[in-house]
Amino acid sequence: MSNLNFIKYLTIVLFLFMGQAGQCCINEYRTLLSGKLVFTDAENMAPIGRFNANNKPYLLEKLHEADSIYRLTGKLEDYSDLGSMLIYTGEYLKAKQIFQDIEQKTPGLYQTAANLGTAYELLGQNDSALHWIKRAVEINPNSHRGSEWIHVKILEAKVKANGDEKYLWTHSILSLNFGNDKVPVNKTNLDLHNLRDHLYDQLNERMSFIKPKDPIVAQLLFDLGNVCALTLDATSGLQVYQSAKEYGYSSDLFDIRQSYFEKLQLKADFRNKTEGWAKDNPLFALTILGTIFIAGLAGIIFLFRRIKKRRHEKRSTNR
- What CATH number is attached to the domain comprising 204? 1.25.40.10
What's the pLDDT score for residue 285?
45
What's the pLDDT score for residue 227?
98
Does the residue 207 lie in any domain? Answer: yes
Using the predicted structure, report yes or no on whether residue 122 has a pLDDT greater than 80.
Answer: yes
Does the residue 93 lie in any domain? Answer: yes
Does the residue 283 lie in any domain? Answer: no
Question: How many whole angstroms separate alpha carbon 135 and alpha carbon 298?
Answer: 78
pLDDT band at 77 (very low <50, low <70, confident <90, very high): very high
As for how many domains the chain has, the answer is 1
**Helix, strand or coil for residue 27?**
strand
Does the residue 298 lie in any domain? Answer: no
Q: Which residue has the higher pLDDT, 151 or 301?
A: 151
Residue 194: domain span: 56-211
pLDDT tens for each residue of 100-111: 999 999 999 999
Does the residue 234 lie in any domain? Answer: no
pTM for the complete prediction? 0.78
Using the predicted structure, report yes or no on whether residue 183 has a pLDDT greater than 90.
Answer: yes
pLDDT band at 90 (very low <50, low <70, confident <90, very high): very high
Does the residue 145 lie in any domain? Answer: yes
Average pLDDT of span 152-163: 97
Nearest CA to 222 among 192, 250, 181, 202? 250
Nearest CA to 192 among 220, 227, 218, 163? 227
Does the residue 261 lie in any domain? Answer: no
Does the residue 110 lie in any domain? Answer: yes
pLDDT tens for each residue of 227-285: 999 999 999 999 999 999 999 999 999 999 999 999 999 988 887 677 543 454 455 44
Using the predicted structure, report yes or no on whether residue 290 has a pLDDT greater than 70.
Answer: no
